[in-house]
Amino acid sequence: MENAGVGGWPARRAQMTPDRTAFVFEGRAVTYAEVHERTTKLAARLRAAGVGAGDRVAYLGPNHPALAETMFATHLLGAIFVPLNFRLTAPEIGYMLDDCGPAVLIHAPECAEVVRALSGTTALLVPDVESWLAEGDSAPIDVRVGLDDLALILYTSGTTGRPKGALLSHANLVWNTFNMLIGVDVTSDEMTLISAPLFHVAALNQTLLPTFAKGGCSVIMPSWDVDACYELIEKHRITWMFGVTTMFAAFARSPRWATADLSSLRNLMSGGAPIPAALIRVYQERGLVFCQGYGLTETAPGATFLEAGQSVRKVGSAGVPVFFTNVRVVRPDLTGTAVGEPGEVLVQGPNVTPGYWQNPEATEAAFVAGGWLRTGDIGAFDDEGHLHLVDRVKDMYISGGENVYPAEVEGVLFEHPAVAEAAVVGVPDVTWGEVGRAFVVCRAAVTGEELREFLDGRLARYKIPRYFDLVDDLPRTGSGKLQKAALRGRPLNRPG
């Protein structure tokens, strides 16, 4: 086979395990042989529409097997796949389309209104992928694709400024899959629940692709829903799932938590942001293996991982560097930090992005000598080489000359039984330079003063927020990341 990239995976899997189920979606099962045939037909239609090596194909829609099939079909032609966040507005989607210039935009019916509101795109619009691919030719397609060829453009969440198109090559995807298969005992009978959005790097690269490579089954949810998650776990005997803090917190708050049959779950995996240790312990007390990892879109995404055998002893740790990747923690002068000393996390390895789409300035700024990627995250290694994430560089604030890391404060706040979610930001203060402001989503009645008293004795006084805002929800991006910039812009209330 000439295609050394991800586009060749359906053909290889169909040859090895044609009758095994690849995807389950809303009760319908699709075998690997069917995925191969559908992918080939879709690639034939894309080729007839003028798509070739290096061209871009965009997909807009909620989780669906068609997203994965469009990705494989795009890669079968040596083209670049661009999954878009379907929760964005037309102007936001329009900016990304203008930036990457796709030849084709395949979209779900749910996104028709947004697509109609787009102006200026020259992409061929495909609203009904089923009827479109049905007319495709199933003759084999084998285009030469190298591992260093570009595979994905993934737009960053845009928590600050305009989103950038992070590039991932086929090598990045393959090496990330290797790292996952070493760090997690993924099996050929895996039943993986895809509950996070597939336009996000973690759901796509950390769960769906490793499961596909091993010949397991991905049970795809259209969107996150707590009750549906419980039902799918019990019905399909789910063994593996990925989630972020908000998903796992909501799952554990459900009335079904205490009595549901969760015995099939072998591994729960989190990432995207540090999971409070208190929440991890809730899962461990239920007898579940909970493993936290660390990474970002630009690392495809795995950089560190806490393996199952260490998940109890090293609770709260993001683990050690994944097998084929190097991680350093450095001071501002790029010298290595001592054990326990916080610094910026750098990552180097074959899973690291080659840069940003048509943005050489951002690419240059992202790297230091030796091909080390600057993550913008603050972490520290313990004496066993486990990485402990402290916070984002941009989220840290200085109060009275002392560094305050909001993630630490948020983690302690989460231990209060009335707290469902918390986000802390720094705000200007005449006396101290900056002080903390906590936005708290509560599951029971509580006052700001009660929360302040709870933190007293658990945190140094300068770390305790001056202001407490009790809110109904927190602003998040489509991938679940907190939008702290939006919180910083809110009018300041009096101390609570």
Helix (H/G/I), strand (E/B), else coil: 25: strand
Q: Is the pLDDT of residue 433 over 90?
A: no
Distance in angstroms (rounded) separating the CA atoms of residues 314 and 301 = 21
The pLDDT value recorded for residue 159 is 46
pLDDT band at 467 (very low <50, low <70, confident <90, very high): very high
pLDDT band at 161 (very low <50, low <70, confident <90, very high): low
Q: Is the pLDDT of residue 290 over 50?
A: yes
Q: In the sheet where 56-60 sits, what is the strand order?
A: 124-126, 104-107, 56-60, 80-84, 150-155, 165-169, 355-356
Per-residue pLDDT tens for 119-151? Answer: 889 999 999 999 999 999 999 999 999 999 999
The pLDDT value recorded for residue 245 is 79
Averaged over 64-68, what is the pLDDT? 98
Averaged over 67-71, what is the pLDDT? 98
> Which of 281-285, 394-398, 453-457 has the lowest average pLDDT?
394-398
Q: Is the pLDDT of residue 401 over 70?
A: yes
pLDDT band at 478 (very low <50, low <70, confident <90, very high): low
The pLDDT value recorded for residue 492 is 87
Per the prediction, the chain carries an average pLDDT of 93
Per-residue pLDDT tens for 419-430? Answer: 999 999 999 888
Q: Which residues contact 137 (CB under 8 A, 6 or more apart)?
A: 40, 41, 44
Per-residue pLDDT tens for 4-54? Answer: 999 999 999 999 999 999 999 999 999 999 999 999 999 999 999 999 999
Distance in angstroms (rounded) separating the CA atoms of residues 406 and 428 = 15
Share of the chain above pLDDT 70, in %: 97
Helix (H/G/I), strand (E/B), else coil: 327: strand
Distance in angstroms (rounded) separating the CA atoms of residues 485 and 471 = 16
The pLDDT value recorded for residue 305 is 96
The pLDDT value recorded for residue 214 is 98
Instruction: Using alpha carbons, select from 231, 159, 216, 224 the residue that is nearest to residue 198.
Output: 224
CB distance 343 to 337 below 8 Å: yes
Distance in angstroms (rounded) separating the CA atoms of residues 159 and 392 = 12
What type of residue sits at position 329? Answer: V
Helix (H/G/I), strand (E/B), else coil: 475: coil
The pLDDT value recorded for residue 480 is 65
CB atoms within 10 A of CB 131: 9
Q: Which domains occur in the chain, in start order? A: 6-381 (3.40.50.12780), 395-488 (3.30.300.30)
Does 301 sit behind a cis peptide bond, omega within 30 degrees of 0 on the bond before it?
yes
The pLDDT value recorded for residue 276 is 80
Quote the pTM value: 0.87
CB distance 267 to 287 below 8 Å: no
pLDDT band at 496 (very low <50, low <70, confident <90, very high): very low
Averaged over 327-344, what is the pLDDT? 97
DSSP 204-273: IIIIIHHHHHHT-EEEE-SS--HHHHHHHHHHHT--EEEE-HHHHHHHHHSTTTTTS--TT--EEEE-SS
Q: Can you state the percent helix, strand and coil of the chain, rounding each to 5?
A: 30, 25, 40
Per-residue pLDDT tens for 233-287? Answer: 999 999 999 998 778 988 999 999 999 999 999 999 997 667 788 889 999 999 9
